[in-house]
Amino acid sequence: MDKYIFPAVFESDGKGGYTVTFPDLPGCITEGDTLEEALYMAKEALELFIYNLEEDNEPIPVPTPPEKIKVPEGAFVTLIEAYMPPVRDEMANKSVKKTITLPRWLNEAAEKANINFSQVLQYALKEKLNIKERNRA
């Protein structure tokens, strides 16, 4: 599924900030110093939480209808949407650091020629694996 919409409970801290929880997603909690920041953080937290569930092949719960959620006094419920294709794409393209070993003379020659090691390694891996373009699932 590409789009998920979950209810989030926003509780004021009394100073303009909010704590945000998702009743259907235990452990998915965030906060913001302002309502605008809390909304942004809620979307990001939901996207990352759903992404991790997908990666772990965990079931994604069915969202509770907002009108069925009981909230503490002064709190409110709003719906937060997570559209997953850009999240998946960003995570797939996230850089990972690798440590490599090569002879000193080769390292020195490559540095002298201003070789970008990351680009060369990516190119070589694509060639070796016969990859023309990243496969988007």
Q: How many CB atoms lie within 10 A of CB 46?
A: 23
Q: State the span(s) of the chain assigned CATH 3.30.160.250.
A: 3-92
According to DSSP, residue 64 is labeled: P
| pTM for the full predicted model | 0.75
CATH 3.30.160.250 fits 3-92, yes or no: yes
Helix (H, G, I), strand (E, B) or coil at 58: coil
Other CB atoms within a 10 A radius of the CB of residue 26 amount to: 10
Query: How far apart are the C-alpha atoms of 78 and 72, rounded to whole Å?
Result: 14
**pLDDT (0 to 100) of residue 58:** 96
pLDDT at 3: 97
**Residue 29 above 60 pLDDT?**
yes
Residue-level pLDDT at 136: 53
For the segment 96-108, what is each residue's pLDDT rounded down to a tens digit?
888 889 999 999 9
| Positive or negative torsion for Cα 113, 130, 86, 92 | negative
**Best-predicted range by mean pLDDT among 21-30, 86-95, 103-112?**
21-30
**In the block, which residue shows the tokens 């998702």?**
22
Q: How many helices (H) and strands (E) does the chain have?
A: 4, 4
| Confidence at 135, pLDDT banded by 50, 70, 90 | low
Mean pLDDT (whole number) for 22-44: 97
Q: What is the pLDDT of residue 77?
A: 97
Mean pLDDT of 95-121: 91
